[in-house]
Structure formats: structure tokens, C-alpha cells
Structure 1
Amino acid sequence: MNRPNILWISTHDINPHLGAYAGVYPGAEYAVTPNLNRLAEEGMRFDNAFAAAPICAPSRSAIMTGCFPTSIGTMHMRTKAVPPPEVRLFTEYFREAGYYVTNNSFTDFQVPTPTSAFDDCSDTAHWRNRPDDSTPFFATFHGMATHESQIYLPEEEFSKRTAHVQDQDRHDPSLAPLPPYYPDTPVFRCSWARYNDLITEMDHWVGTILDQLEEDGLAGNTIVVFWSDHGLGMPRGKRWLNDSGLHEPLIIRWPDRIKAGSINTNLAHLMDLAPTMLQLCGIQIPTHVHAKPLLAADGTQIDQPNAYVYAARDRMGELEDMSRSVRDSRYRYIRHFHPDRGPMPHCDYPDHLDTWRELRILSSGEAGQRAKGLRRSLLTPLQRTLVAPAKPEEELFDLLEDPHETTNLAGQPRFDDTLARFRVAVANWQDTYGDLGLIPEDDLLEQWRPSGVWPQTAAPSAELTDSGVQARSTTEGAHVVWTADPPTSGLQRPGTPADRMGSPADAIGAPPQDGRTWKMLCEATPPPEDCEIWIKACRLGYLESEETAIPSHWPAPDALFHH
């Protein structure tokens, strides 16, 4: 079987502000994105793709597991969850199917990334490093060019970060198509123009990766997927459950399978990518996965895989909140469990960003106007909802008539039936999949790690049988990996997150790096029979096991391996 390769290219913090979405998504006509426009012309553009959360790590956890963050405990930004034992990072299924799986190199999946997740997770990870040209690959590249932090850089540094944006492609702040919920100030105009300059810079980076695929003669048999994790890095985007916080670009190209220039208007979760990729590559979709495949095995559209798409907002840094949202093809409903808390309470990191600070300054200015007995005039009523001291318990928006979600329809009698339908949809979602956000986070952590002690995966035991070598860990949900690379100084002991306190790599759950190459213990990658190997077990949310050394008396390499 000539199995397709997979190339994922992802970016941070953007809505569908790509030229390919002009006329489909508000403001997309402002963008300069020739490479992504061409990718859409050659593949399928998804017009209704949505994140499971409006912030990075929970959204990425959904994409990598195919499960709702609220169901598996990955909904708080950031955390280190202990998902149910059946939950895995879905890249492991590709490794077991014989794929060379790489990640370059961002993780942030809300769990310590296990050794079993990737063949290579580093800044140099690339399909070009696979064992031989016949090995199918799943290569992921995560770009940081559009992250919210880049919008607000000092001028000189911003120019360096957007060095590939030609002068004629720079976005004019005076032409910035600001949504009505933003005040029309130089700060917001400049930030919107910079946001689009960063998208153009990112588009150049995408082009370099696609060029490499062409140079290697691999484009014809590679499924290319482009996506972002959640909305733009400005107020009412990232961290909000509005469409501006959740609506994402999604483009998939598969030559000769997916019709060039096709448009998919079905509702899609980004996490649907997990079962979609498995299905396209002929790998069985696990029964525990919540997500739905968006395409049939031959690349054709599956009609209406989702009646609704769901999303959640929970703790984000020190910003404590809980809201749930559901959307159909027309309406978005949002239920706020803490309506007494404002939508934009203090949060140290974003409060240092220019657009957040600008809103606070204008709100403070309006307080000064009131102090003088004057009417407020610096913000519109819509803009004031962003900095209000509270928020409505429910919100309902008609996206067809009101794409910027300016008018809350909840409470209008003619929408009572629609509101009731969405209330039931949220309740059914929570009942069907569970909602761990209803449990106080400290109590949840205590359930996972009593007295703060991290559970450790039991070291695997191995034995020779008539059918081959068996290696198992007694920890439910554990999977065994092996290496023929000897440890540098005795058997390696697993460290705890406390050992690396303050490490950025630990904050985003980067996998352990010991300079050795670890493979899945499975039929696709059996160990050599003529040398000593080392094995260990991995379980999502647990510390990895201690290593076990196995002497060089393995059976023939075509024996079956079980774990």
C-alpha cells in the first residue's frame, strides 16, 4: 500500500484572516497571503472550523487527543492533567503503523509529552531525517510568527521579525478593517496592521516548507494541513468564547484525492483532525475519541459530521472563569457560570499588551468623565462590554445577520425556543462527555496526585514466548518504548516537574531529551536481535518508568511484539 505522508503546518493566534477567505470571513480581504491562497486553490478550504478552547494549550490538547478538554481534564491554561488511561496523543497510532513522526517543535498539550509521542521532537525535526525514503512520515511544523506577543514588539524588533514582508505588502493602518467592538484609535489600527504583517510573514514561512516538499518530489503523495489554534491575540479574540476567539482557518490539500478549490461548509472542530488523519491513512479510529472524521477514506466530504461544535473557557493563568459555548451553522450560544465576573478581569500577561492596556486607559478615561458629571464618550456601548464589571449569564448571536456578534439575542422573546434548544445542547454535551470544570481545580489535582505526589508508570517486564517477545507495564494505559542507545551514565531515572521548576520547556510539557532514539515496541519497529536494548513505559500524565536493560538474546525480528 502506498500510504500517504502527512504534513501539518500550524500557526498561533489567528482567525481566518487569509486572502483565501475574502468575502467569507470579515476582514480577510485585508490579508496578503499568496502561499496559503494557492494552497486553498489546490485543496479544500473549511469555512466553519472552530477551536475547542480560545487559548493555546487546551485547544492543542483537543487536537492531539481528539477529546474535549473538559472531559479529560485539560481545560485549564496551563495545567498538567492526568487523562483517563485510554487517552493517548494520537501520533502514537501513526508510530505503531510504521510512520516516522516528527514535531518541530512546540508542544503545549497540557500533559508532559511522553517519549512515545514522536520519533523526533526538536528544532531540527524534519521528514528528511527519516530512516529511508520509503518510510511514510507525519511531520508537524509549528510557527510562532503570529503569536500575540509579536504584535506588540518594539519597532526595530518587529521589523526584524517581519523581514520577509515586502514594502508593497505592508498593511496600512489607516485601511485596517477594525471590528466594531474595537475603539478606532492609533493603538488598535497599528496592532491590526501589525497582526496582518505577521500573517504575511507566516505565509512566507509556509511557502518555504511547501517548496521543500516540492523539491523532494513528495507533494503528490502528501496530505498537507494548515491550521491555527484559536483567535487573534487581541481582546474579544484569544481568551473569549465568541467566534472571534474560536473561528479558525483550516485548509487540507491532497492531490488527486481532494478536489482542487473545493469548499467545505460543514461544522468542524479542529480536534476532528485527529480521526480524519487516521481515517485517510487507513488506521483504525479508537472508540474513545470524541472527535469525528471530516473526510472519508478517499478524501471526499462527509456530510454534516457535527450538528454542533463546542468550546469552553476555564482558568487562564490567574484569570479564574468558567463558560461554555455551542454553535450550529447559524447561532452561537454562550453560558457564563460566573456572570458576576467581568469578561476582561486582571490577567498579568495580556494586561501588558498594548490593546488590553488601551481599553483599560479608555475605560479609566470614561470614569474621569463621570467624575466631572459628563456623559461617557470614549467607548461605544458595545466596546464597554469588553471591560464591563460583569457579563450576562447567557449570550446568543446570529452569525449570519450579525457576524461581529454585536447584539445579544438572549432575553428577546422571539428567540426563546432557540435559546432553549442551545441550553439543552450544552447540558447534553456535559452529560455525554463529562465536565471536569465543575470540580474545583485543587480537588481535581488532589484526585490525580494525592498529596501532590506524581504517579509513576510501572517499569515494564519482558519475557520470551513462543510467539515472540512480550513487554508490559502493569500501569493501565501504559505503552512501551525501546532504544539501542546506551545510557550515558547508568540507567536513567525519571525526573519530576519540580526538578525543572521554572523551565519553559517544562511549562509547555516538552518531552524528555536524553540524546537517544526511542521507538515504539511494536510490530512496525521491532528491536534488533543482536544487541542489548533498554525499555521503559509511558502513560499520559504520569512520570515515565525507570528503564529496564534487556540482554541481546531477542528472537528473529519478524516475531510479533505485544504491549
Structure 2
Amino acid sequence: MPTSRPNVVWISTHDINPHLGCYAGIWPGAEQASTPRLDGLAAEGMLFERAFSAAPVCGPSRSAIITGCFPPAIGTMHMRTRATPPPSVRLLPEYFRSAGYWTGNTAFTDFQVDVPEPVYDELGDHAHWRLRDDPDQPFFMAFHSLITHESQLYLDDDEFARKTPDAQRVEKAEVPPYHPDTEVYRTSWRRYLELISQMDHWAGGILDQLEEDGLADNTIVVFWSDHGLGMPRGKRWATELGFREPLIVRWPGKIAAGTTYAEPVALMDLAPTMLSMCGLEVPDHMHGEVLFERRSEYVVSARDRMGEAEDTSRSIRDRRFRYTRHLHPDRSPMGHTEYPDNLWTWKELRRLFAQEAQQQLAFGEPPSILTDLQRSIVAASKRAPEELYDVEADPHEEHNLAGLPEYADVQQRLAAALDDWLAKTGDLGQRPEQDLLAEWRPNGHCPHTAEPEFETRDGLVAITCPTDGSLIGWTTDPPTAERRRWQLYTAPLTSPTPIWVKTWRLGFQPSADIPVAPPAR
């Protein structure tokens, strides 16, 4: 029998734009993708035409999705950091588990914070709703695929073929104008589409399992990716290509089949939306809005440090225009970053740029190897401090309208809206990172969560923790157990056996295990 509360299944992937067949006519080049299973999901639910990530790279983007909070406001904006968010911030699955849901995640927790053990019932490649002890318990299950991650574009031919056995092969892919039409990019785009096809096959398997278990009619299914494709001007760039995402939501009987939503939405909206759809309270501190109740006409995104490449950009999108502000216009948009600089699309663009410079400097010839658009991606320095694009008319962002008199009103409106958002939410990305680290880790040490405190009354054990923002977990598994299953403490316990209690706070070290004897009767 289905539960009265809906289940939630997230199906997420990495590093793709809306290159799904169902986005044909909405996103350029989408028609090249073979995605019958996700097209079918869209036909059974709602397709969001304009969905945007909070950041153009995985850690900050996923922190926004799992907390419902803007990364620069809670400190998770720099790629590869361990932030200490404000004490009000919690991870979405904790709310579900507190409400009686079973929670699972297939290992991927790139949220810029360490995940407290009681947040998930099951965490790892093995995690699946089928592991619930009670088949009637509602669940929140997150499946993550690395199939489309940028790293998979650059495998050798044999390994690529081995990892894409079910992909629809692409004979020739269209190379968009922001990339040079060379063999490197033709191969990369062909592989990108084939990886999406393989991912579609994987997603279809999850949908089949819901049907097999009789759960499809009572399960909210959400498909999303974290940010744009893993090639220059996409991932790591404050561009439409860096932020624009596929987003599909299916809820039989609640969301009309085959519908679309055209207004801008944020992936950051997913956390409050899931809580609302399941009848749970949405915390006031979340910056995201419930998708179907959005009041704002804008979505704000941010680009901050990427590995060793320090940069700061802020971007805002309405239904038609994107306005972006670069706080360091003197820095290259493609600053050296060790990992991606070893990927062949990055190497190819740098090679062509160097070849063009030699053409110009050594031979006195005008540069002709790259177009102005392609050259702007890899420029050694200088870029416009402000960019404005009519994305509906110019989907590849080829013509910067910032500074043109006829677009002054649009630029001023979006700039003011961006300023209002940053003032309202806060922007730690404009503070020196060393100052933040000094606050988060005084004298270089990560603070510890205070140990739990106990009170026994009427045969019940009440547990508290004096650390603001902490959560409490307990287990009957001793520290010597091979595997310990932590429960989330939500109410006083009656325990006939010894238990161990531990506390966590995001950005802090957890407390030690504290044993608690059964209460006297």
C-alpha cells in the first residue's frame, strides 16, 4: 500500500546543459541528443525551460541544492573548501529524516561540508530505497551519476567504449560557435552527446525500478544536473553555458503531464520545494523559493575561486537577459587551474591561442585562427567589467550589450536587482578568504561540537547539546562494531539497552561517543 506522504527520488548527473531531446527548440543543439527515457519523464511531468545553478562548478552548486541557500551567503562559494555555515543551515535530508522519512544517497556528497552520519539511513553505492526495513516508510533517495562528468570526455577510446555500452552513437556533432571546429572539439562534442545517451539509459533503469515496486504513482521524481558542460566557457565560467541546466519534475496526479514552466527558476529552489511538496515546513533561512510559488523574476548565480584560480563574478538572469559583473576584469577568464588545464579541450584552446599570438607577433599578420568569440574565452587578461546579453535572441552570448544606450534601462534594472539580492542575502565572496578561515578555524583549529548532555525522567532519556546548530545522533552499535547505524535524535528515548550518543555541527568536528546506560526503572 502506498504511504500518504509522497516519496522523493532525485536523479542527478554532472556537467551537462539542457542537451536532452525534450529541450529541442528551447536550448540550441538539444535535438542532437538521444534521451528517450528523460524525454518520457518530461512528457509525464513538468519541464522547466529556464533553470539555473547557483554556481558553475559542482561543490558550490550542490551546496546550494542541498541547503536551499546561496553559497556566498553561507561560505560555500569557493571550489574546494570546508565552510562553517551559519547555525541555522542544515542539509535537506535531515529535515526528511526528522519527519520520519528513510533517507539514502549513492555516495556523492560534494556539499562543501562534511556530512553528519545521522543525516542518511544509507550512504554509499549500495544505497537504495529497497533497503528500508518498513516498505511503507516514505523515503528520500538521491541517485547520482558520474557518467557525464567532464573526466569521462577524455578517456582513451577503449575505456570510453567500455563505459558507454548502451549509448546511441553520434557520427557527427555540431560544434557551437564559441568552440573552434577542430578534431579535438568535434570528438569532445560527439562524446558529450554519447555520454548523455548512456546516462539516459541509467536514469531509465531507476524509473523502471519505481514501476516494478509499485511506487511510481506516489513518488516525486526530479532530474537535474549541477552546472554546465565540462569544456571551456561552460563549467567554471560565469556564463549562460556555465549556469543553464535541465530540470524535470514528475508527480503523477499532482503535476499535469506534458507541462512546461517558462519563468526562471534556481536549482537552489529544490530544497524548499521538496519540503513544501511533502507537507513539511520550509525554514525561513532558506534563500530558495518553492518552485510553483516563486515571487522573484530573477535568478542570481555566482562564480568564485576555482582551485588556485581566484576570481569573483556575480550574475543575474531574468526571462530574457543575463547581466554579469566581474569584480576582477583584469584577470583572464581562463586563468590557470591545474586540473582542467590538463584536459584536451583546454590544451587545444591554449595551443590555438598561442599559435595565433605567434602569427601576429612573429609574422606581423592579423590573428585569424580563432574568432573574436573564441579568443575572448582564453584572453590573457582584460575582459569587460560588465556583460549584458539578450539570451533569447543571442543564445551563445556573442554580442555584449553592456554600455549601449538603448539597453541602459535593462542594464540598470538588472544591476540594481543584483545589488538588492546581495545586500539581502550577504556576500562573503567579497571578503578575503583568509579572514573567513580565521573565523571558522581559530588559530588554525577546527572547533569541536560540545558533548551531549542528558536528563533522565520517568524512564526517558532527554538529550541536548549546547552548541548552536548542532544535531544529535544515537546508536545501539558499540564503537567496536564493524558498521554502526546512527539514528537521528528527535525526541526523548526509552532504551532498554546501552546506547552511544554523539553530536555534530556543520563545519565543526563531531563530539566523542558518549555511552549512556539504560535508565533506571
Query: TM-score category by the smaller chain?
Result: over 0.9
1:457 CA displacement? 0.3
Q: Percent identity?
A: 55
Residue 49 of structure 2 aligns to a residue whose secondary structure is strand
Whether 1:15 aligns to 2:17 is: yes
Deviation string for 1:79-121 (max 9, x for gaps)?
Answer: 0000000100021010000000000011110011111321111
CA deviations on 1:219-269 (whole Å, 9 max, x unpaired) are 111100000000000011001111110010000111111111111112111
CA distance in 1, matches of 2:438, 2:363: 52
- What is the TM-score of this pair, normalised by structure 2? 0.97
SS at match of 2:377: coil
Please list every run of 5 or more consecutive structure 1 residues that lacks an aligned counterpart in the other structure. Answer: 296-301, 490-513, 556-563
- Which of 206, 212, 217 lines up with 1:215 in the alignment? 212
Residue of structure 1 equivalent to 2:282: 285
Are 1:205 and 2:197 counterparts?
no
Q: Aligned partners of 2:450 and 2:142: how far apart in 1? A: 30
The equivalent residue for 1:122 is 124
1:350 aligns with 2:340: yes
- Asked if 1:179 is matched to 2:170, the reply is no
Q: Is the 8 A contact 1:268 1:305 kept in 2?
A: no
Q: Distance in 2 between matches of 1:183 and 1:528?
A: 67
Cα offsets for 1:300-358 (capped at 9, x unmatched): xx3x4332100111101011100100111110001000000010011111111111111
What are the residue-to-residue correspondences of 1:266-285 with 2, within 5 Å? Answer: 266-285=263-282
1:359 alignment partner in structure 2: 349
**Do residues 520 (structure 1) and 488 (structure 2) align?**
yes
Paired letter, 1:172: E
2:314 to 324, 347, 367: 324
Deviations 1:360-392 (A, max 9, x none): 011011012111111211101111100112211
* Deviation of the 1:536 alpha carbon: 0.7
> Residue type matched to 2:88 in 1?
E
Give SS of 2:104's match: strand
Distance 2:154 2:13 in 1: 17
* CA deviations over 1:57-93 (Å, ceiling 9, x no partner): 0000000100000000000001000000010002101
Q: CA deviation at 1:554?
A: 7.6
CA separation in 1, counterparts of 2:479 and 2:45? 46
- Aligned partner of 1:443 in structure 2 is 435
Give distance in 1, aligned partners of 2:308 and 2:40: 41
| Structure 2 match to 1:375 | 366
For residue 171 of structure 1, report the CA deviation from its aligned partner: 1.1
Q: 1:89 aligns with which of 91, 99, 103?
A: 91
Q: Is the 8 A contact 1:53 1:230 kept in 2?
A: yes
For 2:447, the aligned partner's letter is: P
Cα drift, residue 424 of structure 1: 1.1
Amino acid at match of 1:374: E
Q: CA deviation at 1:177?
A: 2.3
Whichever residue aligns with residue 345 of structure 1, its letter is G
Give the partner amino acid of 1:517.
R
Q: Residue 483 of structure 1 aligns with which residue? A: 475
Q: 2:230 — aligned with what?
A: 233
- Does residue 1:255 correspond to 2:252, yes or no? yes
After TM superposition, give the deviation of residue 467 of structure 1 in Å.
9.6
Letter in 2 for 1:358: E
Partner of 1:496: none
Cα 1:554–1:367, aligned 2, differ >3 Å: closer, same or farther? farther
Asked if the contact 2:470–2:504 (Cα under 8 Å) also holds between the matched residues in 1, the reply is yes
Are positions 1:545 and 2:503 aligned together?
Answer: no
Asked if 2 retains the 8 angstrom alpha-carbon contact of 1:52 and 1:68, the reply is yes
Structure-2 residue corresponding to 1:473 = 465
Shift in Å, 1:451: 1.3
Letter in 1 for 2:130: R
**What is the match of residue 503 of structure 1?**
none
Partner of 1:49: 51
Give the TM-score normalised by structure 1.
0.90
**CA apart distance, 1:43:** 0.7
Which amino acid in 2 is paired with 1:321?
D
Within 2, Cα distance between the matches of 1:554 and 1:53?
53
Looking at structure 1, the residues matched to 520 and 8 of structure 2 have their Cα atoms a distance apart, in angstroms, of 33
Q: 2:65–2:270: 8 Å Cα contact kept in structure 1?
A: yes
Distance 1:159 1:22, change over 3 A: same
Alignment match of 1:144 (pick from 143, 146, 157) = 146
Rate the CA distance shift 1:531–1:151 in 2: closer, same or farther, 3 A.
same
- Displacement, 1:146? 0.1
Q: Give the paired residue count.
A: 517
| TM-fit CA distance, 1:469 | 3.0
8 Å Cα contact 1:231-1:246 kept in structure 2:
yes
Indicate yes or no: 2:5 matched with 1:3.
Answer: yes
Q: SS of the counterpart of 2:189?
A: helix
Question: RMSD between aligned alpha carbons?
Answer: 1.3
- Per-residue CA deviations over 1:477-526 (Å, capped at 9, x if unaligned) read 1111110111108xxxxxxxxxxxxxxxxxxxxxxxx7210011114xx7
Distance 1:246 1:16, change over 3 A: same
Partner-residue secondary structure (3-state), 1:385: helix
